[in-house]
Chain A
Amino acid sequence: MGIPQLTNVVYLVAAVLFILDLKMLAHPRTAVRGNFLGALGMLLAIAATLISGRLEWTYVILGVAIGSAIGAVAALRVKMTSMPELVGLFNGFGGGASVLVAGSALIATFSAVEAGTVSGGDLQMKIATVASGIIGSVTFFGSYVAFGKLAEFLYVKWKLYPWQRAVKYGFSLLVAAGGVAFTASLGISPHSLVLMASAVVIAGLLLLKRERFPGMNAVKVTLSIAAILLGVLMVMDPSNSLLFWVLVGAAGVLGVVLTMSIGGADMPVVIALLNSYSGLAAAATGFVINNNVLIIAGSLVGASGLILTNIMCKAMNRSLPNVLFGVMGPTEDTPDADEVYRTVKSASADEIAMILETAQNVVIVPGYGMAVAQAQHAVRDFANLLEARGINVDYAIHPVAGRMPGHMNVLLAEADVPYDKLKEMDEVNTTLETVDVAIVVGANDVVNPVARTDPNSPIAGMPIIDVDKSRTVVVIKRSLSPGFAGIPNPLFALDNTLMFFNDGKKAINELITAVKEL
């Protein structure tokens, strides 16, 4: 068996290991081992690649060393609350790598064609390069926008921290300067001017303070069509490698425009979608360089991201086009907040502790507010205290709570909450009538009963956690401000609801003190 066959066999082993990795993620008990198998598969694939040909090692080792160091530092230092930012960023690196590989392969092939050493790229390579360029570039720039929005330095009006300013202006400057320098090196032509213009547009769009502009949806549609047309042109005339860069530029603008207006509770959808794209870009790159393992691994990830996207959309009763093109917000018949909140009752920690004294079943419903207040450890202490007093405490997790799929579960796992205490929405909803006290920590739209009752509401039909059916509801919230949907929540004014106006962490700590004093 020659080296090429051996390499392909190792690639097959790697692909099987990736599949086993994902399969073992079906249970927390086996998941750690699964992740090891995935990493082993990657190591094997890399090793097989390195021994497969006469590669020049300098660049290879230098690149791997730099990338690994950055990746390791990021992975070990990130706080669990910032996980959505990190995953968003990693998606972007994946997409960026795919574009660069496809572009590099394209240049290498056509410089070889000019030199007369090979006969030219085939149709498969052309189409795959186009796909990789479009998807990868949308992923790269879209992920940067998602990261910037999650880290709260893009499209905001307030004053930024120095590091935020450095990243924001640094990245824009890099894109603009890079675009201009790259264009200059290619010589002035209509194509290169379009490329330069798109780099400048991307840089400018990333400096805006508002996340919407008039005619935005028309721009999205135009850019999508333009990217596809450029792709067709490129397939017909692939010797013009400049077209590839124009295509990447246009797709980059599209990536920014598609993501810039999406925020809040829609973030999980976008992160999942970009996750899927990063996989599909890798698969497309596999078609560019004729490599099975890229295709298999890429399509697994593509499928995974699509499933998550679908789950997130269903959990909001919205379609993907509605998330990408729609505007979430109050409608004309949204009731007035003052009217809805006329009967709101607020309570002190002592009063709530008194109610908890006679409770047997308590459900805690966490939302993004818990992550913002970093309250997960306090919540855990509080739950332990209640359990020590013989009260059963469960957690009810809505699929879109937080800023990425499973965000709340990771935060609570970090705080040492056993995973069998984390209940899914459907499971909890069957038992809420027997719950004595439901405590909502930093969640709003996902517990808004209007989703069930008002067919004209922007969240109509969205599955919610029916906390209003439990005997008493305690809502911990700083104020009566609306959630992402921008509508008032009649839950806060129900007879059986008590509002505890406070910061999440402080509120829980006060409750702990009050319960201890009982």
Chain B
Amino acid sequence: MSDLVMLFTVFVLAIFVGFEIITKVPPTLHTPLMSGSNAISGITIVGALILAGSVDHPLAKTMAFVAVIFASINVVGGFLVTHRMLKMFRRK
């Protein structure tokens, strides 16, 4: 199987998994769901790190560096603010 088909398989299956588990999140937690999933989308940091640490072209390096900053804001800010919110939800 070619790489592209392999990656595409993963993509399609992951979307199905996403639909299955996220429909079970209750409306009460929709805001933390958004901030938490937002933190997960900061996974782009992996790509940013690889490029920032390996490319030589100055423009490419600068862009990867800014991408590392953006993605770190997303990851750290996202998980922290989600934690802050989730801690507040309590039962009687």
Q: Residues on A close to B: CB < 8 A?
A: 11, 15, 18-19, 21-23, 25-29, 31-32, 34-36, 38-39, 42, 45-46, 49-50, 52-57, 59-60, 62-64, 66-68, 70-72, 74-76, 78, 80, 83, 86-87, 90-91, 93-94, 96-98, 100-101, 103-105, 107-108, 111, 123-124, 271-272, 275, 278-279, 281-283, 285-305, 307-308, 311, 397, 399, 404-407, 409-410, 413-414, 416, 418-422, 424
Contacts and interface: CB of A to CB of B under 8 A. Distances in A.
Contact of B14 (A66, A271, A299, A404): A299
Contacts of B87: 32
A52 B82 CA distance: 29
B85 A302 contact: no
A52 B46 CA distance: 11
Contacts of B77: 70-72, 74-75, 86, 90
Contact of A282 (B41, B51, B54, B82): B41
Interface string B50-91: 111111110111011111111111111111111111111111
B34 A308 contact: yes
B7 A67 contact: no
B18 A302 contact: yes
18 contacts: A22-B40, A31-B89, A38-B40, A38-B79, A46-B46, A50-B53, A59-B53, A70-B73, A75-B84, A86-B77, A94-B42, A94-B74, A100-B64, A289-B47, A296-B14, A297-B40, A409-B31, A424-B27
Nearest to A283: B11
Contact of B27 (A49, A50, A71, A409): A409
A66 B73 CA distance: 8
Contact of B7 (A54, A271, A287, A406): A287
Contacts of B26: 26-27
B18 A299 contact: yes
B40 A301 contact: yes
A57 B81 CA distance: 28
Nearest to A63: B68
Contacts of B63: 100-101, 103-104, 107
B28 to A, nearest CB: 4
Contacts of A297: 40-41, 43
Nearest to B3: A290
B43 to A, nearest CB: 4
A427 to B, nearest CB: 11
Main secondary structure of the interface of B (DSSP, over half): helix
B14 A74 contact: no
A271 to B, nearest CB: 7
Given A87-B35, A100-B66, A406 B28 contact: yes
B81 A275 contact: no
A387 to B, nearest CB: 10
B90 to A, nearest CB: 6
A406 B36 contact: no
B54 A301 contact: no
A100 B64 CA distance: 6
B79 A35 contact: yes
B79 to A, nearest CB: 4
B1 interface: no
Given A94-B44, A279-B41, A285-B47, A104 B36 contact: no
A298 B44 CA distance: 8
Contact of B34 (A64, A286, A405): A405
3 smallest A-B Cβ distances: which pairs? Answer: A67-B72, A55-B53, A303-B18
Nearest to A413: B88
B79 A302 contact: no
Contact of B89 (A19, A28, A62, A283): A28
Contacts of B21: 19, 22-23, 26
Nearest to B9: A295
Contacts of B78: 71, 75, 90
B11 A299 contact: yes
A177 B88 CA distance: 43
Contacts of B66: 63, 100
A28 B29 contact: yes
Contacts of A293: 43, 46
A411 B31 CA distance: 10
Contact of B28 (A11, A28, A311): A28
A301 to B, nearest CB: 4
Contact of B48 (A97, A303, A407, A420): A97
A39 B83 CA distance: 10
Contacts of B30: 308, 311, 404-406, 409
Contact of B70 (A76, A93, A290): A93
A301 B37 CA distance: 5
A369 to B, nearest CB: 18
Contact of A93 (B23, B35, B37, B74): B74
Given A38-B36, A42-B75, A32 B25 contact: no
A117 B19 CA distance: 42
Contact of B72 (A15, A64, A291): A64
B57 to A, nearest CB: 5
A101 B43 contact: no
Given A60-B49, A68-B73, A83-B31, 15 more contacts: A31-B29, A50-B53, A59-B52, A64-B72, A67-B68, A80-B85, A86-B35, A87-B38, A108-B56, A287-B7, A291-B46, A294-B47, A304-B22, A405-B33, A413-B85
